[in-house]
Amino acid sequence: MFYKTTCVYFVFLSLCLAFRLIFLAIYNEFSLSVFYIGLRFDMAWCSVLATLYLIASFSKNFLIRIYYDIACFLLLVSELVFMIFFKIYRKNIDDVILLLFVEEPLKLFKTAIKSSYGIVPAFIIFIILFIILIKIHEKILKNNKKYFAIPLGIILIFSLNYQQFYSPIEQVKFKNNILQTSAYGHIQGLMNYIKIKTYKNTFKSFNIGEPRDTACEVLKACDKEIDLYKYLEHTKEDELQIKPKKIYYIIHESLSDWVFETRFAELFSDLHDFIKKDNVAYIKALHNAENTRESFWIQILNTYYDNYLDFEPNIQSYKIKTNIVDNFKALGFHTNFFKGTEYNWSGSVYLFDLLGANTYDENNIKASKDFRNAWGFDDDVVFDFLDTKADEKSLNIMITVSNHPPFDLNFLKHSDIKIPFDKIEKLSKKYKSELATLYWSQKIMIDWVKNTAKKEPNSLFIITGDHYGRYNIDDSDDLATTHTIPVIMYYPQAKIYPTCKITNQLDIMPSIINLIAPKDFRYYSFGNACFSLKKEEIKDELKIGKDIAYKNNSFMALSNLETKLRALSWYLIYNGNIIK
């Protein structure tokens, strides 16, 4: 069986290398360094599978076949999942993959099939390759050569210990995200993810040292007993204050900041003209999450920690003071939350319920017109319903859902808005449906804001995106393009000024509070105010987003400082505010 095991080893390795080459070819990239690093990982994993095959070979033939089939199944699924995951999220496999188990699986599946993510082709490729691999194995089993034992032993020992023969593989930084992900992704990326998920939910899992040292370094909190709230406390300093009867906080699904580039001014004239209005302030912002679920929890709880898949029960016993509902309750506002999808989507309704807000989802929105997209009610339906429920002294948070895959343009069946397909096709034929959907959804939103501002001039409006929309017409991987969203503030009766060169999602709550709170009002947040009622010098300070930082007029990939902020946020949520 030594000869057969060698053949199986090279079948596994060839499969992995083929997928790596195909991945790089799809994105028109190649690097010998990437291929070399990936080869080392692939050799190690394939040798493990081959060694297990050798052990299985001492049993009956049908067990060998079963093991081989399982190994091929795992390799194919791992590679294809990696390819699809990267196509959607442009990164290596991480916690986002678990959304399949906490969201609405049927809607996710339907969206995936209708979207151009390659799900159907991947399934066909899987079937074809699986059959081919089985046929290859049958030929290997029929070959009864007895030699090759010594070369096999050398190959397996060399492969299994490849990283031990040389210095451990360090995280080499490559010129772009495609090469970086390929080098450390594929099978290795999945294995690393599984390894990380086996860690217990402890501070040590962040691998950054002790809580005290981290708090001292990041927050400059070096007391003998550290109270995190002491370093997260903010005080409104000036006397200027607006007193809106209602606040509308609109989180527009997948609203990316690239829509504000000059070349899109004609197509998205509604947004471009709106930010030029008197009393409207706009700042480019780093997003702090890459999907809706994480974005919701970050904006609502006002912390950097975004892995809430196992967190929900904890909030019942410990409500952190940074959460938006309690901060606005202290200002005399109650919170209403609106979204046109089912209760479970993004876990947001559940969270608002726990915090004591009034929540409205697809199950309890009473709509006069039943216009729906793949995920729930269209945006115009939810805006109409919001009008009936937004009462005085209310913070009304709404998430739009129309600008979401599969971009099937279903709204055309009931909307009077004419879509300028001629302008869209001049910009991009590839993203025709995406741009048409974005055009419709942003127009619905801006028209509603303008009309509501006329009827209710004493209202404050906030517009932002939940995360970068995962596409741009240039298919650029530029950090400033793929990690930014807008933040817009509008109060019809007073001028609002931006005070930061760039902001992020954690700054939104402090910014609203800075506009509406009386002097000396105290609140808690990981963010800082970036909008003011008085004109100030624009601050060019360090801002942290999801896997990105902005400093000195440049965007840079960042992980260490964000990890430490996430760890302190985790500590606050799970262990409380005191570090002894």
Q: Flag whether pLDDT at 167 surpasses 50.
A: no
Q: What is the mean pLDDT of residues 528-543?
A: 95
pTM of full prediction above 0.95: no
Query: In this predicted model, what pLDDT tens digit does every residue of 179-197 receive, in sequence order?
Result: 888 888 888 878 777 766 6
Q: Quote the percentage of the chain above a pLDDT of 70.
A: 87
Q: Flag whether pLDDT at 426 surpasses 90.
A: yes
Query: In this predicted model, what pLDDT tens digit does every residue of 497-507 receive, in sequence order?
Result: 999 999 999 99
Q: Which residues contact 88 (CB under 8 A, 6 or more apart)?
A: 117, 470
Residues paired with residue 462 on neighbouring β-strands, in sequence order = 249, 489
* SS3 of 39-55: HHHHHHHHHHHHHHHHH
Residue 533, both tokens: 């009622």
- Residue 40: the pLDDT is 83
Q: Flag whether pLDDT at 127 surpasses 60.
A: yes
d(CA 161, CA 557): 32
Task: For residue 107, give the amino acid letter.
Answer: K
Among 24, 22, 23, 79, CA closest to 46: 79
Q: Flag whether pLDDT at 162 surpasses 70.
A: no
Query: In this predicted model, what pLDDT tens digit does every residue of 198-253 receive, in sequence order?
Result: 665 678 878 889 999 999 999 999 999 999 999 999 999 999 999 999 999 999 99
Q: Chain-wide mean pLDDT for the chain?
A: 88
Give residue 463's pLDDT band: very low, low, confident or very high (50, 70, 90): very high
Q: Flag whether pLDDT at 492 surpasses 90.
A: yes
Task: For residue 498, give the amino acid letter.
Answer: P
Q: What is the mean pLDDT of residues 86-107?
A: 72
103-107, 116-120, 147-151, 445-449: segment of lowest average pLDDT? 147-151
- What are the angstrom distances between the C-alpha of 310 and each of 346, 352, 463? 13, 17, 29
d(CA 222, CA 224): 7
- What are the angstrom distances between the C-alpha of 299 and each of 231, 245, 370, 464? 19, 22, 30, 11
d(CA 54, CA 6): 9
- What are the angstrom distances between the C-alpha of 418 and each of 16, 125, 369? 48, 40, 20
Q: What is the mean pLDDT of residues 452-475?
A: 96
Please give the residue that has the higher pLDDT: either 174 or 260: 260
- List b or e across 87-105, with b for residues whose CB sees 16 or more CB atoms inside 10 angstroms: bbbbbbbbbbeebeebbbe
108-122, 226-240, 410-424: segment of lowest average pLDDT? 108-122
- Residue 206: the pLDDT is 83
- Residue 275: the pLDDT is 98
d(CA 49, CA 32): 25
Query: In this predicted model, what pLDDT tens digit does every residue of 273-308 receive, in sequence order?
Result: 999 999 999 999 999 998 888 898 899 999 998 765
Tell me the range of 40-54, 170-184, 471-485 where mean pLDDT is highest.
471-485
CA-CA-CA-CA torsion for 4, 6, 8, 10, nearest 10 degrees?
-150
Q: Flag whether pLDDT at 170 surpasses 70.
A: no
At the fourth CATH level, which superfamily is domain 226-416+465-579? Answer: Alkaline Phosphatase, subunit A (3.40.720.10)
Query: In this predicted model, what pLDDT tens digit does every residue of 129-158 receive, in sequence order?
Result: 999 999 999 998 887 665 555 565 566 666
Domain ranges within the chain, ordered by starting residue: 2-197, 226-416+465-579
Query: In this predicted model, what pLDDT tens digit does every residue of 306-344 receive, in sequence order?
Result: 765 554 555 544 578 999 999 999 999 999 999 998 866
Among 442, 422, 443, CA closest to 432: 422
Q: Flag whether pLDDT at 73 surpasses 70.
A: yes
